[in-house]
Amino acid sequence: MLANILVLGVGNVLLSDEGAGVRVVEQLQRSYVFPPQVELIDGGTMGLDLLGYLDDKSHLFIVDAIVSTQPPGSVLIEKLLDPPAYFRQKISPHQIGLSELLAVAAMQDCLPPAITLFGIVPLDLSTGIGLSREVSGAVGQVVLAVVQELGLLGVEVGAASC
């Protein structure tokens, strides 16, 4: 069966590094061409409004700023075995929307069976547009990690032409 993958970047671009997930999706869209079975969504802070995007997905890649004891700009990649429980811990600065989304998806039996979190540890969550130097550098690492993970699933991604 062909994988049906959603790459979901979440976060608030008006709160500096909190927008890291959205910035990763934007860079993926600018730099690569994806086959039809891969959908990239700038989920921003949409929360439960994203529920419909989860239907019929075999894989969900969540890209987000995450709270961690690691230094700012660190990249954490984790396969989630129990996503609603994972997000009940405060790991995302805007956690409520994502936690509710995954809990409702689980209740409605539309939670994708394979979920991977691509997280970037933020430095600055104050009001402002633009990423800190540390997080900006990590965006490129996560872009490459997403492309690599897609490759492991047998998905061919092409470079975008100028």
Average pLDDT of the residues in 2-31: 93
pLDDT in tens, 132-158: 999 999 999 999 999 999 999 999 999
pLDDT in tens, 57-69: 999 999 999 988 9
- Put simply, whether the predicted model's pTM sits higher than 0.85 gets the answer yes
Tell me if residue 159 falls in helix, strand or coil: strand
The pLDDT value recorded for residue 91 is 54
Instruction: From 116, 12, 122, select the one nearest 67 (Cα to Cα).
Output: 122
pLDDT in tens, 52-109: 899 899 999 999 999 889 999 999 999 987 766 666 555 555 555 777 888 888 888 8
With contact defined as beta carbons under 8 Å apart, do 51 and 100 qualify? no
**CATH architecture of the domain with residue range 5-159:** 3-Layer(aba) Sandwich (3.40)
With contact defined as beta carbons under 8 Å apart, do 131 and 1 qualify? no
